[in-house]
Amino acid sequence: EAKKFGRNRYHYFTPDMQAQAQARMQRIGDLRLALSRRELCLRYQPIVDLRSGKIRKAEALVRWQHPSLGLLSPQEFIPLAEETGLIVELGNWICEQALEQTASWRRTLDPAFQISINTSPVQLCDNGTRLDAWLTWLDRLQLPGSALALEITESILMSEAASERLLAIQSMGLEVSLDDFGTGYSTLSYLKKFDIDYLKIDRSFVQSLSPGSSDFVLCEAIILMAHKLGIQVVAEGIETDTQHRYLVEMGCDYGQGYRYSKPVSADEFERLVAGIHRAGNGN
């Protein structure tokens, strides 16, 4: 018994794990400073109206320009931000930043332009996420609630606290987009319980679309079901012309993916919109 315990203890303190724990503490410390050091930035990925071929919306995706590790993707720090509660401060910054950009683009690009931001369950449930602050920013920027769509994941809908928050959010006029649809613990009853505006088909369904494949059938069925429920559909991860064509034929409303553009800086985004408009429909 004691031997076993000893061995476990030994394993717990391997130099490897100690180094890992140290790296983790280091990264948490860095993340705490990232905001004040202005190391975080947003990239914008176009969301294309599949009927007109025009860029109507964008999803804001956060990046961290780490002083020594280079550009980090959200998977490399969002989970850490969630565990430490830093996600609240980070999420507020993302929201304010995205709204300022949107206000500017509604003046220069498209008066109906909408930005989507990702929200994590931790962030939505936390009391530090001041929805009244979000309202104040919207007001100050003279933006209607519909200028902002919140991307939520299916897991949010399972928690009581979050679903209350969601109702509050909807009463502010914000739109709600169900992200990565089909990959979580989905139950279709959420679609009738919550008033969802957009459903984003996860890119794993879009990847191998070919007539007769089960992914093809699922995409068709999701689009049909969503439309009957008055929900619009965004297909994620469209990379090829073929995927684009199939989804257009299925009547999918919006498309997002490398076929149109990777997530880009605000400047590049403006050039992209200008270019596509100059070239006509870009379809």
What is the C-alpha separation between 16 and 7, in angstroms, rounded? Answer: 16
What is the C-alpha separation between 210 and 54, in angstroms, rounded? Answer: 25
**Which of residues 6 and 79 has its CB atom nearest to ligand C2E in the complex?**
79
Task: Look at residues 261, 263, 262, 274 and name the one whose alpha carbon lies nearest to residue 44.
Answer: 263
**Which of residues 95 and 250 has its CB atom nearest to ligand C2E in the complex?**
95
Contact pick of 30, 34, 46, 151 for Mg ion (by CB under 5 A): 151
CB of 4 to ligand C2E, least distance (A): 40
Residue 179 interacts with Mg ion (CB under 5 A): yes or no: yes
**Which of residues 123 and 138 has its CB atom nearest to ligand C2E in the complex?**
123
CB of 212 to Mg ion, least distance (A): 25
**Which of residues 94 and 209 has its CB atom nearest to ligand C2E in the complex?**
94
* Cα separation values, 154 from 25, 148, 231, 270, Å: 30, 19, 15, 32
Q: Which residues pair with 139 in a beta bridge?
A: none
CB of 181 to Mg ion, least distance (A): 8
How many CB atoms lie under 10 A from the CB of residue 187? 11
Task: Look at residues 110, 92, 91 and name the one whose alpha carbon lies nearest to residue 48.
Answer: 110
User: Measured at CB, which residue is nearest to ligand C2E?
Assistant: 257
Residue 101 interacts with Mg ion (CB under 5 A): yes or no: no
**Which of residues 87 and 103 has its CB atom nearest to ligand C2E in the complex?**
87
CA 23 to chain centre: 27
Where do the DSSP E strands lie in 202-247? 232-235
CA 214 to chain centre: 26
Query: Which residues here bind ligand C2E, judged by CB under 6 A?
Result: 45, 61-62, 73-75, 78, 94, 117-120, 151, 179-180, 203, 237-239, 256-258, 263
List residues near Mg ion by CB under 5 A: 118, 151, 179-180, 200, 236
